[in-house]
Amino acid sequence: MNESSKRTTFSNFFPDDNAYVSVKGEFTHSDDWYVKLSIQSSPRNSADFWAAEWNHNEMKKQLMALKEAVSQTLTFIDKCNNQT
């Protein structure tokens, strides 16, 4: 793994709702790495998803389910907005 791939970051803030989506991860060694996905839709509604060398299999399954749920949510929003 090259130096640039040893870290990952992403952040998007939505000031109208005080919401954000962020990702932070670091790789030191195959038995020492983590990545964290944080989602906040309002100050009282937030979730963190952690994956690391010791729990990544189950977390990957959860994140794949989240990916499908987000896709279905976006599809439903589009359908609702296209109704007359």
71-84: average pLDDT: 93
Q: Which amino acid would we find at residue 67?
A: K
Who has greater pLDDT, 68 or 84? 68
Determine the average pLDDT of the residues in 6-23. Answer: 94
Which residues are paired to 32 by β-bridges?
29
Edge-first strand order for the sheet with 19-29 is 7-14, 19-29, 32-42, 45-52
- Which range (4-13, 23-32, 67-76) has the least confidence? 4-13
**pLDDT of 4:** 57
* Domains of the chain, earliest start first: 3-81 (3.10.450)
For residue 33, give both structure tokens.
């790495």
pTM: 0.79
